[in-house]
Structure 1
Amino acid sequence: MTKLSYAAWLDKWEWMIGTGLYIEDVAQEVAILRAAIDKNIETTMFSIVTIFAVTVAVIIVLTLAINWHEHKLADKNLKELAHKTVMFQEDERKHLARELHDGVNQLLVSSKCHLELLDTRDVDERSMGHLKQSQSSLSEAIMEVRRISHHLRPSALDDIGLEAAITTLLQDFKTYSMANTELVLDAKTPKLKSEVATTLYRVVQESLNNIEKHANATNVTVFLKHFGDVLQLIVTDDGIGFDVGNAMNSRGIGLRNMRERVEFIGGEFELISEYGKGTEITVLLNLEGAV
């Protein structure tokens, strides 16, 4: 083995002192130190990479969380804005319906009454024909104003309540539909807030419109009941049915609007339909805060 040595002569004592070191031992120690240094470098690099990866992951998660929160907040604000817009439209409909019913309609009725009170003894046959035609036109105008007023906002919804409004809605539906209608009411449904009553009424109205357009149903039933603190509204038909998923993703704008309006007032909306087995729409609403 190669050895590095050193020796010195001490004249005073006539001694020779020497020392030495094997080169292989030095190389081995250097190799050990180098391996330790490399390992420390690898450990340090791994730690740095791990910290960097964790930091990036945390930043990504925080970014996604912030974006999700902002998206949810924006979605909530958008729904609130849409709901306020709908309710503003309902207020405008209510105002316009009142103006038509109490203003224009009363003027038409008054005009018709004055025509009926005319002394027709000295009226020639031609003038009598015009007079009768005017009376007939006024009658049609009165009926049309009442129809438009009721379609905009049924007065029964504000004056008598939800049950009466739904009853009238079903009666009107029966006049232009071939389906048999049935209304099943609870003994007494509590007085609901205007916003809640309007939402439930619009659900029934939109359901009946969809049934008339698409269902080809022969029987339609509306249930309005409450169990304890829960109000239940169900609209069923025995029509042709449809695929719920496709309807909600394509032409189901009215269905989505119904769901959003019900959910905004704190209710639950459920839609069940199957080809050949009809359709059932259910709304469940906690009465706490709704009356």
Structure 2
Amino acid sequence: MIVRRAVRRSTPRPELRRAVRYFLCLNALAIIGVAVAVSLASVHLAREQAVHFAEHSARGMAEWLISPHCTPRLRAGDPAALRALDEAVRARMRDGSVVRVKVWSVDGRVLYSDQAELIGRRYELAAEDRALAGTNRVTAAISELDRAEHEYEQQVERLVEVYLSLSGTDGEPVLFEAYFPADRLEDDARYIGWRLAPLALLAIVVLQLFQLPLALALARRLDHAHRERGRLLEHAIAASELERRRIARDLHDEVIQDLAGVGYSLGAVELHLSGGGERLRETVRRLSATVQRDVRALRRAMVDIHPPDLSVTRLPTALNELAEPMRATGKVCHVQVVETSELPVNVRQLLYRSAREALRNIDKHAHADRIDLTVETFGDQVRLTVDDNGVGFDAADPPQPDHLGMRLLGEAVREVRGTLSVTSAPGVGTVVTVVLPLDDSGQQRRWVPWRR
């Protein structure tokens, strides 16, 4: 029975589109990854720049504002000198960019602070801070605010603490300490980072746009090479098919015909033997049977060597011809096939080969008396099912004989991205299922005639 059903035609050149989509997806992931990395790096760089800016601001404040007021009178605690420095410092702090200012003697005494209660107190300076005295080095870091001198800065959560050394009017070194709000510096860092990130991303996008035509050209070249390889493979297959056809023709026209003639001659010889040659007639009959058996075997081999041309012969007809030998032995072989004229030739050929191998195994091993062979399409796939009611076998302990034909068939099915499965159980028969794709991704071989 033939069931007609529409088969969707495959779309051309999906490999190229997949390669381009793959390239674009990778580019998108690369842009996202680089965007995150650039943003983090920009913020980090901007934070470093902000801390560097704090160092630069502290140095400028120390040289131009603090140093001229560091006189011997300030060291002695003269109120007028302290007041003059305080007025200059508070004018600088009015914009909120500086939170606290301290001027230290090398031995740890606070010579001046905008927090007046700290003036004159002594604290233990850290070794790295004392080491700055008389040098041009500057240290800056987020302060932990965990020392005794920080009792008036506790209300502020995070501060950038900057230490440096400067010289007073008398040449004696003093230490200058300034506190900058960390949140403000980080806001500046984020602002700088967000200004840098778009530039970096724009450069990446422009680079990708320049790469896209190159990628398309490479994809087209690969596609062209793939098609050339396919054409070479098709010609090789066509040449192999011609050679197989020549061998089949030679078998049919010469060897099989000669053996058939020998069989007929042996039959004639048997008829003309005299009655006393019973033993000789039995020998002739055996020879005639052997020749006829060999002729049938050669005819089967000829069909195997040169199967029907499915670009001309319809698949249902070819499958029914495969089933005829099974029916001739009394088996019920039911064939149901969809209208396959629109299936690619290579798919029809592989379906035929799969059905032939399954029927051959049934004939040799299954001892079945009923076989159901079905070909049907669903979506963008076609499925062949060969179901028998034979003895079956345990899937956990498959038969030991070497099923080379099934292994070769499995490789051919996998080459076109299809699947081959065999399910069985003792006493319930065996089901062989072959599923093949109908899109171009699975059609690695498309038949073309060989032309000289």
| TM-score, normalization by structure 2 | 0.37
Greater C-alpha Rg: 2
Does residue 1:185 correspond to 2:349, yes or no?
no
1:180–1:114 distance in 2 versus 1, CA, 3 Å? closer
* SS, match of residue 131 in structure 2: helix
Are the counterparts in 2 of residues 229 and 286 from structure 1 also a CA contact under 8 Å? yes
Deviation at 1:200? 1.9
The amino acid of 1:205's aligned partner reads R
Q: Deviations over 1:256-275 (max 9, x none)?
A: 533432343x4633526264
Distance, in Å, in 1 between the alignment partners of 2:268 and 2:362 is 45
Q: Which of 193, 198, 223 is equivalent to 2:374?
A: 223
Aligned to 1:167: 320
Q: Deviations over 1:123-156 (max 9, x none)?
A: 6556797578547624532441332332353566
Distance, in Å, in 2 between the alignment partners of 1:263 and 1:129 is 56
Distance, in Å, in 1 between the alignment partners of 2:297 and 2:436 is 30
Distance, in Å, in 2 between the alignment partners of 1:205 and 1:254 is 10
Distance, in Å, in 2 between the alignment partners of 1:36 and 1:218 is 93
Q: Once the two structures are aligned, what percentage of the paired residues are identical?
A: 21
1:119-268 equivalence runs, <5 A: 124-125=274-275, 130=280, 133-134=283-284, 137-138=287-288, 140-154=290-304, 157-158=308-309, 160-173=313-326, 180-186=332-338, 188-190=339-341, 195-212=346-363, 215=366, 217-225=368-376, 231-239=382-390, 240=392, 242-243=394-395, 254-264=405-415, 266=416, 268=418
* SS, match of residue 102 in structure 1: helix
Deviation at 1:203? 0.8
Distance, in Å, in 2 between the alignment partners of 1:141 and 1:153 is 18
Are the counterparts in 1 of residues 319 and 352 from structure 2 also a CA contact under 8 Å? yes
Aligned-residue Cα RMSD (Å) equals: 5.2
Deviation at 1:104? 0.6
* SS, match of residue 105 in structure 1: helix
1:91–1:210 distance in 2 versus 1, CA, 3 Å? farther
* SS, match of residue 148 in structure 1: helix
1:86–1:227 distance in 2 versus 1, CA, 3 Å? same
Distance, in Å, in 1 between the alignment partners of 2:345 and 2:303 is 12
Q: Deviations over 1:139-195 (max 9, x none)?
A: 53244133233235356623855434432332334566x864222234x54287765
Q: Pick 1 or 2: higher relative contact order, CA cutoff 8 A, min separation 6.
A: 2
> Which structure has the highest helix share of the two?
1
The answer for unaligned runs of 5 or more in structure 1 is 1-16, 38-75
The answer for unaligned runs of 5 or more in structure 2 is 1-70, 76-103, 109-124, 142-225, 448-452
Report how many residues are paired.
226
Deviation at 1:110? 3.3
| TM-score, normalization by structure 1 | 0.52
Aligned to 2:203: none
The amino acid of 2:252's aligned partner reads H
Are the counterparts in 1 of residues 420 and 433 from structure 2 also a CA contact under 8 Å? yes
Distance, in Å, in 1 between the alignment partners of 2:319 and 2:239 is 22
Deviation at 1:221? 0.6
Aligned to 2:106: 23
Are the counterparts in 1 of residues 256 and 295 from structure 2 also a CA contact under 8 Å? yes
Are the counterparts in 2 of residues 231 and 287 from structure 1 also a CA contact under 8 Å? no
Are the counterparts in 2 of residues 94 and 153 from structure 1 also a CA contact under 8 Å? no
Are the counterparts in 1 of residues 413 and 420 from structure 2 also a CA contact under 8 Å? no
* SS, match of residue 341 in structure 2: coil
Distance, in Å, in 2 between the alignment partners of 1:89 and 1:238 is 37
Distance, in Å, in 1 between the alignment partners of 2:438 and 2:328 is 33
